[in-house]
Structure 1
Amino acid sequence: MELKRLLFMLISLLAISLFLVACGSDDSEVEGDADSNSGDGGEATEEAPDFLSILTGGTSGTYYPLGGEMASTITDATGIQTDALSSNASADNVIALQEGEAELAFVQTDVIDNAVNGVNAFEGNKVENVQAIGSLYPETIQIVTTKDSGISSVEDLAGKKVSVGAPGSGTYINAEQILEIHGMTIDDIDAQNLDFGESTGGIQDGNIDAAFITAGTPTGAVEGLGATVDVSIIPIAEEKINDLVEKYPFYAKDTVKKGTYGLEEDVNTVAVLAMLAVTDDVPEDTVYEITKAIYENADSMAHDKASLISLETALDGIGIEVHPGAQKYFDEKGISAE
């Protein structure tokens, strides 16, 4: 009897030992799996890219030189080699982002709004992979001609040779909308698809009469024209500005100040905002660092327009989704859209 009791105790102890070993083995496997899923115990993060490209605009506009300085700032701050590339500007830049040809691009707020909503130039081609980093500075719509051209109003452009921007540019869309508010269409002018440098060169040579130029003022190409001829900027009447803003809220009233290009008085016009867009597949941490680099180092950029890049206005005019990386930075700084 005593032997049976002893044997029973030994079997029970063995069973308990085997159970504890099995439990220990399961715990180890679970812990090992957890470690392999989370790396160092934190959330998995996407790997930062080795290179980034920023699409800008024509070499004689504002986007290209400012984009070059911005690319250098991003490279220095993040360690990611970033290059600024010349392009046909806003609309073409959005398509290039859509097709994965670059990661970052300068665009106008009105153009990106059209793109994500699939309207105007983007009818039937809704762009779904592009998000915002932030606004940069106002872009003034300048209708440029010469003092002796005889053109003093938008209506006077009828029948004239007028540059409406490079094909695919936001300037073209601005020209369409401004003409529309004046009861005109592109067909009412002899439209020329020229970039800024070609536009001012054409005015200087007498090959065209006027040009729509959407860019921060002063614009280099227009300053160059002003060195050889007396520049005139065609004003937009107050009531037409109000009509335009009412129909297209991404516009705002603006002024080309007296003294710019040798102007003798202020000229009323409108502006949209230049902004930086990014594809949604750029990692959140990378976009956070890009956003921080731009808004904390704008004062070290030499271009005149860099002085207008401000954290306080970074979300002005942004009507599309902000990239989570940029949003994280703005949230930390207490910046929200008005």
Structure 2
Amino acid sequence: MKNKRFLLATIFILVLSLFLAACGSKTEQGSGDSDKGKEGKAEKPKFISIVTGGTGGTYYPLGGSMANIISDATGIQANAEVSGASAENMTTLKDGNAEIAFTQTDIASYAKEGKLMFKDNKVDNVKAIGTLYPETVQIVTTAKSGIKTVDDLKGKKVSVGAPGSGTYANAEQILEVHGIKMDDIDAKHLSFDESTAGIQDGTIDAAFVTAGTPTGAVEGLAATEDVVIVPIEAGKADELISKYPYYAKDEVPSGVYGLTDAVPTVAVLAMLVVRDDLSDDVVYDITKAIFENTNKITHAKGKLIKAEKALNGVGIDVHPGAQRYYDEKGIKAE
């Protein structure tokens, strides 16, 4: 009897062991599949921040429209935030305090290469979504100032942009090709709104404003003053482009700000950049959402934003998620 009991106990233990081993194998296999799933598709963030610019510029209203589009199309709650614009935005992404940013193509290149304002603060964790529209360099003044040429800025109180902004670099380079140094003007570091308010109340004479036209702050000035946009003549524009290839010839159209004639100037390109630690799937969805819903952008610049032009003049690496979208559409840089 004892032997029979021992045999039955042994068989029971053996069967139980085989059962537990089989369960363990299934659990391990299930765990492996789960891990693979996590690796294959990163978790979608619930919130993203888009850093833009000042309330008087173009980035902020555009960012608001794009935040709404992204939220509706992807389910990610996007929020547009006021900021100091291009240069500050690149640093904000570097520090991990936002996911997407507006910037100028020249500033993005400086940041990635560690040049100029990024000499001691190189940005390595940012890639492009795509370019959007020309960022027109507007040298703004009024008829009563008597300023008609870039040379006339010598000795005048001139706003050259908020500290660390892309506008400052544009002002410095444009003055340079005209043989003017920052020390030759009384440089003021003001936002667009502060600049136009200063022109209106007479505390400054002129201001560099690098933004898509029409720019809200300048439109506000034009409501009370006869606005003058100082031209950058073709020869100087060619000289500037030869030394700094991210510029292109542009103009402020007639009718804008009450101008009777178009004014020749130069431009860089506005672009969207993203932290490179966002997954390919998320950036693909964001890129698709923006470029396939440009009709929902309320700002006038929305008409210029086209996927077909988004790879032109980028200047830095494109995020693989954005590139996947362009590849699907057969889009290449021109």
TM-score, reference length from structure 1:
0.89
Measure the CA separation in 2 of the matches of 1:176 and 1:69: 32
Tell me the secondary structure at the aligned position of residue 40 of structure 2.
coil
Partner of 2:209: 213
Q: Which amino acid aligns with 1:219?
A: T
Partner of 1:315: 311
Closer/same/farther in 2, CA of residues 180 and 37 from structure 1, 3 Å limit: farther
Q: How far off its partner does 1:39 sit? A: 3.1
Measure the CA separation in 2 of the matches of 1:222 and 1:246: 29
Q: Deviations over 1:215-255 (max 9, x none)?
A: 11111111111110100000011111001111111100001
Closer/same/farther in 2, CA of residues 184 and 34 from structure 1, 3 Å limit: farther
Partner of 1:8: none
1:78 alignment partner, one of 54, 70, 74: 74
2:324 alignment partner, one of 325, 328, 336: 328
Report how many aligned residue pairs link the two structures. 315
- % of aligned pairs identical? 62
Q: Is the 8 A contact 2:58 2:211 kept in 1?
A: yes
Partner of 2:31: 36
1:302 alignment partner, one of 298, 303, 321: 298
Closer/same/farther in 2, CA of residues 38 and 156 from structure 1, 3 Å limit: farther
Q: How far off its partner does 1:199 sit? A: 0.5
Q: Is the 8 A contact 2:65 2:296 kept in 1?
A: no
Q: Deviations over 1:168-200 (max 9, x none)?
A: 211111111111111122111111111111111
- Does 1:126 pair with 2:122? yes
Closer/same/farther in 2, CA of residues 34 and 176 from structure 1, 3 Å limit: farther
Partner of 2:136: 140
Tell me the secondary structure at the aligned position of residue 293 of structure 2.
helix
Partner of 1:16: none
- Does 1:228 pair with 2:227? no
- Give the alignment of 1:109-124 within 5 angstroms: 109-124=105-120
Partner of 1:18: none
Tell me the secondary structure at the aligned position of residue 39 of structure 1.
helix
2:63 alignment partner, one of 57, 63, 67: 67
Closer/same/farther in 2, CA of residues 329 and 202 from structure 1, 3 Å limit: same
Measure the CA separation in 2 of the matches of 1:235 and 1:287: 39
Q: How far off its partner does 1:125 sit? A: 2.0
Measure the CA separation in 1 of the matches of 2:61 and 2:158: 26
TM-score, reference length from structure 2:
0.90
Tell me the secondary structure at the aligned position of residue 317 of structure 2.
coil
Partner of 2:7: none
Partner of 1:274: 270
Partner of 1:152: 148
Q: How far off its partner does 1:124 sit? A: 2.7
Q: Is the 8 A contact 1:37 1:44 kept in 2?
A: no
Q: Which amino acid aligns with 2:232?
A: I
Q: Which amino acid aligns with 1:301?
A: I
Which ranges of structure 1 fall in alignment gaps of 5 or more residues? Answer: 1-21
Q: Deviations over 1:41-78 (max 9, x none)?
A: 76621111111000000001111111011101100111
Tell me the secondary structure at the aligned position of residue 233 of structure 1.
strand
Measure the CA separation in 2 of the matches of 1:127 and 1:141: 25
- Does 1:204 pair with 2:200? yes
After alignment, is 267-276 or 257-266 more displaced? 257-266
Measure the CA separation in 2 of the matches of 1:114 and 1:185: 21
Q: Is the 8 A contact 1:237 1:268 kept in 2?
A: yes
Tell me the secondary structure at the aligned position of residue 273 of structure 1.
strand
1:255 alignment partner, one of 251, 256, 260: 251
Measure the CA separation in 1 of the matches of 2:28 and 2:317: 36
Q: Is the 8 A contact 2:55 2:82 kept in 1?
A: yes
Q: Is the 8 A contact 1:145 1:233 kept in 2?
A: yes
Q: How far off its partner does 1:40 sit? A: 9.2
Measure the CA separation in 2 of the matches of 1:157 and 1:205: 18
Q: Is the 8 A contact 1:161 1:191 kept in 2?
A: yes
1:45 alignment partner, one of 41, 65, 83: 41
Q: Is the 8 A contact 1:130 1:278 kept in 2?
A: yes
Q: Is the 8 A contact 1:77 1:293 kept in 2?
A: yes
Q: Deviations over 1:95-127 (max 9, x none)?
A: 111011111110000000111011111113221
Which aligned segments of 4 or more residues in structure 1 are displaced greater than 4 angstroms? 31-35, 40-43
Tell me the secondary structure at the aligned position of residue 134 of structure 2.
strand
What is the Cα-based RMSD across aligned positions, in Å?
A: 1.9
Measure the CA separation in 2 of the matches of 1:124 and 1:281: 22
Q: Which amino acid aligns with 1:275?
A: M
Measure the CA separation in 2 of the matches of 1:188 and 1:34: 73
Which ranges of structure 2 fall in alignment gaps of 5 or more residues? Answer: 1-17
